[in-house]
Amino acid sequence: MPRTEEAATMAQMALVDRVVTQWFSEHRRELPWRSTDPWGVYVSEIMLQQTPVSRVLPAWHEWRRRWPTPTSLADDSVGEAIRAWGRLGYPRRAKRLHEAAVVMRDEHRGAVPDTEEALRRLPGVGEYTAAAVAAFAFGRSSVVVDINVRRFLVRLHTGNDPAASYSAAERALAEAVYADLEVPAPLWAAASMEFGALVCTSRAPACQTCPLAEKCDWVPGPRTSRTQAYEGTDRQARGVVLHTLRAGPADSFDWPDPDQLQRALDGLLADGLVVRDRLWSLPD
Active site residues: 45
Instruction: Find, among 5, 16, 8, 3, the residue nearest to 182 by Cα.
Output: 16
b/e map of 165-175 (b: 16 or more CB within 10 Å)? ebeeebeebbe
Name the burial class of residue 127, with classes exposed (0-12), middle (13-18) and buried (19+) by CB atoms within 10 angstroms of its CB: middle
Neighbour count for residue 94 (Cβ, 10 Å): 26
Q: Which residues pair with 250 in a beta bridge?
A: 280
Segments of the chain assigned E as strands: 275-276, 280-281
b/e map of 202-227 (b: 16 or more CB within 10 Å)? eeebeeeebebeeebebeeeeeeeee
